[in-house]
Structure 1
Amino acid sequence: MISTTREPASDRSPTPWAADGALAGFEARTLNMPPDDEGPVVATLVRRRAAVPAGRAVLYLHGFSDYFFQAHLATAYNANGYDFYALDLRKYGRSLRPGQTPNYCTDLRAYYAELDAAIAIISGEEGHRWLLLNGHSTGGLIAALYAHAGQRRGQIKALFLNSPFFDLNLPWFKRLLARLYVLLGARFPRLPLREDLAPAYTESLHRNYHGEWEFNLAWKPVVGFQSYAGWLRAIVAGQRRLQAGLAIACPVLVMHAARSLNARRWNEGCMHADVVLNVAHMRRFGPGLGRHVTLIAIEDGMHDLVLSAAPVRERVFAELFAWLERIEPRALTGLPDS
């Protein structure tokens, strides 16, 4: 539920920047949002500035059952002249508070409030006029919808979507069940879904299993958090808006793995494919985001492309920064991409 309760502005002022408790070398501040039916709501803005003062910035949005932990992503952006910012959305990661339902929402547009606040800080007191919005998976869906209709969409000069969640990755019979849950979600939003996130993906990432990465399993659990009919209804509503076609004004890069793999149990193939989403959906719906869309498939890429094997993620960064170099003058002037 989105609260319409008014509070004094001072009650919702962001906290000052302070050392981030989750990642060394980063700073974080709390963005106080209007409360909802579970009580006080916050988002968390994380930053690390480039060594040389940068005129450009990037704002990163994580996926579902996720949070920002990819320090090497910030390093790549910093090295290429971007001040780096990331949002842990309400009820995710750094922003999850006792008594809250992890990752829960009933309308993706609720997240626009923290995007508005973050962009206001980045373009206001932080002084950036050139902003790249970078979204992964569910964060990619939210980022695309915001770039189309968000209050501060005009301040976004480019959009990079890493394996965005454009459609449900379900066989036909589970799609029928999902439709039932969507209908029930209008009246029973807290109805638990029986489907969970297969452990194969997170096991491919975390160093305790088959991966190379260290992250907080309380914030990014192996089987994901419980999801609910109201959340699924919100996701499907957002996907339907996107699938109908958007009018994103800025240049858009959609990057995804070359192939998908259905695997609930880990196997070596999980290290070389998207085991969460169907990349065909990204190819199908990506061109409808706007007039200036580039799609790139990454051989051997995983679902979160920047967590793929080192040679693969280096290719991801090379493609990303080459694209940014090509489009930056057009993003500033509004000229079409050639």
Structure 2
Amino acid sequence: MIDLQPSSEQVQIIDSVAGFLADRLPVERLVATQDANAEAEANQDYTALSEIGELGVLGLGLSEEQGGVGYSLVEEVLVAREFGRFLVSPGIIATMLAVHLVARPNEQAVAAEFAQSLQTGSIAVAPAVAVTSDGNLTGSEFYILDGAPADWVLVVAESSACLVPRADWKERRAIVAIDPSVTLERAQLGNLNGSHHCSDASLVRRARLLASAYLVGIAEAAQESSVAYVKIREQFGQPIGAFQSVKHRCADMLTRSSAAWSLTLFAALSEESRSSDAGFQVMAAKIIASDAASRNAAVNIQNHGGIGFTREHHAHLFVKRAHMFDLIAGSSALLKKRLLSADSPLRVT
């Protein structure tokens, strides 16, 4: 039997990160960014990047020999889940991934200094998702998420990932994002000039796992927001949480987020142990986590009633961020196609 409960040391990591985020980057901060006069606040998460680096979480899963903290992929997944709870900029996840990409054994020695700068938060990285899923990098168009203050952009394709400097991006133009707390650009990736860093499919799987954990965090935060609200919102002289229909919706939210978290942890353990079915489990985790985040976020708005549909409340931000993270490292629609053609771990040979 696999133990999916965190150890005492892992609980300390979770509490440390959660405490910092609650104090420094509470979800309520994002409501202010919807004001037309608050555009400068849209990327305030990057101002906390160096503080997050001081916590050691950006190099958490990197070995001590490579200059990291020396924990495993599982601890990174635990941290990514907390980032999802607080809707931290997707650039944080991209930076965690970039550390592994730059510190790979086959990279030149000069990469060690680069990796250290990434770990301390001195260099910011933004993720990019393809406009079309044709699998090509050069000449393709991408959406760059929260990339205005970033120095590098991480592109995650189906079988590889590359860290590309801003200079390699052509025809960058700002477009309006559905999520007002995140800047969005559309750009074309020109010919890679040799100053980039690339990895194989192992980093793609890691990216999907961290995205899955982030999505689980969204699902859990939406669930907790609903439960807290239905306890105090009253109708007909009693809390709405006493109504059977509301109870059932909240119970379903818990079921979805619990299932997504269990599958994400199992996939992380499979990847960490290099199990033969790790790729299958990772894709399945991303699909389930994305579904849990999207559906819980939608139900959270429903449970909040009228206030949940307004821009003055943060409930709608969970929906928008869940949609964004579904696209990172492969959308659910794409992964479902790949999963159908993949060898099932239950198949008898």
TM-score by length of 1: 0.30
Structure having the higher strand fraction is 1
- Structure number with the higher helix fraction is 2
Name the larger-Rg structure: 2
TM-score calculated relative to the size of structure 2: 0.29
